[in-house]
């Protein structure tokens, strides 16, 4: 478990490490957060599932550019230049 606490009132999901470098998945006490294609627009829709093939994986990628070097933010994520990219 990377973040979130089970049954905590301020945390409805946990971020858990998945297979692969810098790859994570979101889980709840009811199941894993996944995706399915929408009926009308065929855009991905989030759902709680126990089907591992529908799991939504999130990958953090380090971005090394001048914008992240010049930041004065106190956010750890912004200082490290990390960006989150979901992939299906």
Query: Domain containing 64: what range?
Result: 14-87
For the entire predicted model, the pTM comes to: 0.55
| Number of domains observed in the structure of the chain | 1
CA dist 59 and 39 (Å) reads: 26
User: Is residue 32 one of the residues assigned to a domain?
Assistant: yes
Token representation of residue 22? 């810098």
Chain CA centroid to CA 37, Å: 18
Beta strands in the chain (DSSP E): 14-17, 23-27, 32-37, 44-49, 57-62, 82-87
* End-to-end Cα spacing for the chain: 21
Q: pLDDT for 8-40, tens place per residue?
A: 655 577 888 888 778 888 888 888 889 888 888
Average pLDDT over residues 50-59: 87
Average pLDDT over residues 45-70: 76
Average pLDDT over residues 51-71: 72
User: Is residue 79 one of the residues assigned to a domain?
Assistant: yes
């Amino acid at each position: 478990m990377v973040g979130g606490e089970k049954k905590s009132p301020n945390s409805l999901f946990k971020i858990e490490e998945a297979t692969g470098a810098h790859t994570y998945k979101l889980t709840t006490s009811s199941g894993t957060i996944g995706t399915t294609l929408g009926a009308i627009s065929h855009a991905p829709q989030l759902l709680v599932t126990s089907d591992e093939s529908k799991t939504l994986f999130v990958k953090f990628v380090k971005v090394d550019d001048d914008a992240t070097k010049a930041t004065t933010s106190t956010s750890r994520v912004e200082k490290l230049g990390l960006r989150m990219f979901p992939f299906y």
